[in-house]
Amino acid sequence: DVKVTQSSRYLVKRTGEKVFLECVQDMDHENMFWYRQDPGLGLRLIYFSYDVKMKEKGDIPEGYSVSREKKERFSLILESASTNQTSMYLCASSWASGANNEQFFGPGTRLTVL
Amino acid sequence: AQSVAQPEDQVNVAEGNPLTVKCTYSVSGNPYLFWYVQYPNRGLQFLLKYITGDNLVKGSYGFEAEFNKSQTSFHLKKPSALVSDSALYFCAVRDMEPSNTGKLIFGQGTTLQVKP
């Protein structure tokens, strides 16, 4: 089975802190994604990566950056956390293309910024 | 622009009754469609997908979905609901503009409440 793990289930940070969210997948997937999930807004794509060191902005990249130094690991960075970044963050991975490229999700990190 | 709509925020159904969770889409070209389920404080789990072929797709946990091209719909169904089916359900379509990058566009989600 595909396994996507995220470094923390729950995280509490202070405004202005630099925050790192880590995601690791074990299926050699090319694509990796970071979403945030807020009630009534569904899932919104922050960034995605289709290869090592490659990244593209999603729909809401402001205030975030990402890093993909190894194929299995995709990190989301909040440069200076703000209260409006309190949310559930979901990481996902998938094959690059073809019919079998449904996304597989990690358990999520619920981040609270005080 | 491509989009997915789930017109109902919540669906209530009695245990044992059939359930339907609605999804409509707008894409250029042939759609790749997906359903996911999310249990409380968990990530999303893949249920089923439509790529091509038979319009009735069967997935996990007894769920199925019917692709209807003329109505641009992909409704999720189950013949007999269980209390344990209560969860948040997301419909998604592959984002094909400008090309197939593997990105998905998600609907806003529908909460399914199955009552004993």
Question: Which helix (H) or strand (E) covers residue B65, if one does?
Answer: strand B64-68
Question: Is the minimum CB–CB distance between A51 and chain B shorter than 8 Å?
Answer: no
The region of weakest confidence among B65-69, B90-94, B101-105 is: B101-105
What is the Cα–Cα distance from B76 to A12, expressed in whole angstroms? Answer: 36
Model confidence at B100, pLDDT cuts 50, 70, 90, reads low
Chain A CA closest to residue B109: A42
Find the CB nearest B108 among A30, A40, A95: A40
- State the 10-residue block means of pLDDT for chain A, 114 residues long: 88 97 94 93 92 91 96 97 97 80 92 97
Give the phi and the psi of residue A26 in degrees, each rounded to 5.
Answer: -115, 15
Cβ distance of B34 and A90 shorter than 8 Å: no
What is the Cα–Cα distance from B89 to B107, expressed in whole angstroms? Answer: 9
Q: Is B62 helix (H, G, I), strand (E, B) or coil?
A: helix
Q: What is the largest CA-CA distance in chain B?
A: 46
Find the CB nearest B109 among A30, A33, A42: A42
Cβ distance of B101 and A102 shorter than 8 Å: no
Q: What is the largest CA-CA distance in chain A?
A: 43
Higher pLDDT, A95 or B70: B70
What is the Cα–Cα distance from A41 to A43, expressed in whole angstroms? Answer: 6
Cβ distance of A4 and B41 shorter than 8 Å: no
Cβ distance of B108 and A42 shorter than 8 Å: yes
Cβ distance of B106 and A42 shorter than 8 Å: yes
Find the CB nearest A97 among B90, B100, B104: B100
Is pLDDT of B1 > 80? Answer: no
Closest CA to B81 of B109, B110, B114, B112: B114
- Pairing relationship of beta strands B87-94 and B104-106 according to DSSP bridges: antiparallel
Cβ distance of A103 and B90 shorter than 8 Å: no
What is the Cα–Cα distance from B95 to B92, expressed in whole angstroms? Answer: 9
Closest CA to A79 of A67, A96, A95: A67
